[in-house]
Amino acid sequence: MENPVFARRSSPLDRTLSAGAYNLVIGLTLCWGFWVNWWMVGNIPVESIRSIHPWLFVGGYFVSCLAGAWLFHRSNKPWVSFLGYNLVVVPFGLVVNLVVSRYDSALVHEAIRITALVTLGMMLLGTLFPRFFASIARALTVALLLVIVVELVELFILGIHHGVIDWIVVLIFCGYVGVDWGRANQIPKTLDNAIDSAAALYMDIINLFLRILRILGRK
C-alpha cells in the first residue's frame, strides 16, 4: 500500500523550498529523532521500561505509533506532522533502549556506523535510480508482510528464530530507504513534505539499525 505522503501533488497554495533547504529539513528532522532516541537510551533506566506490563507497553507502542503515523500522513501542517513524528520517535526510542541494553557499547557503535554507511549508500542509489526503486516498492511491502507472518509463527508457535530472517529484513529496509528517499525527491518540496519524508525514512533506518545490531550480536 502506497504511503499517502508520496502520492502528494503540488498546489498553488504550497510554498516550496529549494532542493538544498528541503534536504536540510529532512536531515535535521532525522537528526532530531535520533537525538531523542540517544537521550532516552542515556537517561531512561531500562528497569523502568521493563517494569511496564507487557500488554500495556505493546498497546501503548502501537497506539502512539499509529496515531503519529496518521498525523504525519494526513496533515499538511508542519507542526502537526512534527508532533506525529515525535509520537513515533518516542515509542521507537523505548524499544531501542531495551534492545541496546543487551549489547556491548562498542557493538552498538559499530551497528550505528554500518547503518549510517548503508543508509547513505541507499540514498545515493535512490537519487540515481528513482524509477527502479519505485518499481520494487510493492514487492518490498509484500516481502515485509510475509516476513512478519513467518517471524510471528516462528516466535509464538515454533519457539525458534532463523538468523536468515534478519538478513532478509535488512535487505528489505535497505530497499525501503532507497524507495522512500527517491519518492521524497519526487513530491513537492514543501516544509511539511520534508518532515513527513523524514518520518518515513526514520522508521526505515531504525528498523535497519536494530536488525544490523542483532546480526552483529550473534557474531
Q: Would you list the domain boundaries of the chain?
A: 17-218
Cell numbers standing for residue 106: 562498542
Model's pTM, two decimal places? 0.91
Angstrom distance (rounded) from CA 4 to CA 47: 38
Cα 47 to Cα 31, 64, 90, 101, 214: the distances in Å are 26, 21, 17, 10, 21
Predicted local distance difference test score (pLDDT) of residue 4? 63
Distances (CA, A) of 111 to 40, 103, 193, 211: 18, 11, 29, 9
Q: pLDDT tens digits for 150-174?
A: 999 988 888 888 889 999 999 999 9
* Residue 12 clears pLDDT 50, i.e. is over it: no
Mean pLDDT of the 107-115 span: 97
Q: Which residues make beta-bridge pairs with 190?
A: 16
The mean predicted confidence, pLDDT, of the chain is: 92
Say whether pLDDT at 70 is over 50: yes
Residues 6+ apart with CB under 8 A from 197: 5, 6, 26, 180, 183, 184, 187
pLDDT at 7: 56
Residue 94 has what pLDDT? 97
Model pLDDT for residues 192-208, shown as the tens digit of each residue: 999 999 999 999 999 99
